[in-house]
Amino acid sequence: MNTTLTTIPLVDLSEQHQPLQNQIDAAVRDVLQRGDFILGKDLAEFEAAFALKSGVSYGIGTGCGTDAISLGLQACGIGANDEVILPTNAFIATLIGVIRAGAKPILVDCDLDVRGVVRVARPEYIEATALIDLEAAAKAITTKTKAIVPLHLYGQMVSPRQLLDFASAYNVLIFEDAAQAHLAQREGYTAGGVGIAAAYSL
Ligand SMILES: Cc1ncc(COP(=O)(O)O)c(C=O)c1O
């Protein structure tokens, strides 16, 4: 029997790149010609445009999303002796950001029971979102808890209303990791516009 193996690529980024290629090439050429490599007008324009689109007051460009998390948490006054709650299925960079800020990450379970879009092989998980479980987060609160870092994952947002209720009930800051949900919307909020600050990655 003749068997033909077909490789299906996991992701084809060139398909997304092609329609924008000319625009991107021209923008990069323009920056190179001006030698405007550090900060500069393009970054300032992007910061303002992205903040406006996300419905927040300010946007600040950093080297990467991990820097945005550690610098953002530090800017919120979070550091040594503070505990920060995040889900066990957080991206590794989120944990690194918390640790680099000097705080202690406290991992709590994610939600596998509510309506959502994650599709996995186990039928009992078919409706799961895998977003942070706020009931588990409530059990992890101590006198050292300063913030919760909800991850808006796979394009889904953690419920802004439930997050705001949680933050006011336990007097903690919300610092959103929106690196997998740029411009996602839920309950009238845009990802990154719920808490005191947020981090993204491009
Ligand atoms: C949820 C999440 N947080 C943080 C990051 C870190 O971003 P960066 O790789 O730009 O440091 C990523 C990167 O993919 C991410 O998916």
Residue 40 lies in a domain: no
Q: Which of 69, 91, 100, 156 to mutate to test the pocket of ligand 1 (most atoms within 8 A of CB)?
A: 91
Domain containing 111 equals 64-199
Residue 23 lies in a domain: no
Residue 2 has pLDDT above 80, yes or no: no
- Structural domain count of the chain: 1
Residue 169 lies in a domain: yes
Span 159-169, mean pLDDT? 97
pLDDT per position as a tens digit, 76-114: 999 999 999 999 999 999 999 999 999 999 999 998 754
Backbone angles phi, psi at 99, to 5 degrees: -65, -40
- Among 143, 135, 131, 150, smallest CA distance to 85 is for 150
179 pocket-lining for ligand 1 (C-beta < 6 Å): yes
Structure-token match 């299925």, residue found: 89
**Residues 130 and 112: beta-carbon distance below 8 Å:** yes
pLDDT band at 167 (very low <50, low <70, confident <90, very high): very high
pLDDT per position as a tens digit, 122-162: 555 556 788 999 999 999 999 999 999 999 999 999 999 99
Residue 13 lies in a domain: no
Residue 167 lies in a domain: yes
Residue 29 lies in a domain: no
70 pocket-lining for ligand 1 (C-beta < 6 Å): no
Residue 68 lies in a domain: yes
How far away, in angstroms, is 3 Cα from ligand 1 center?
A: 40
> What is the CATH number for 171?
3.40.640.10
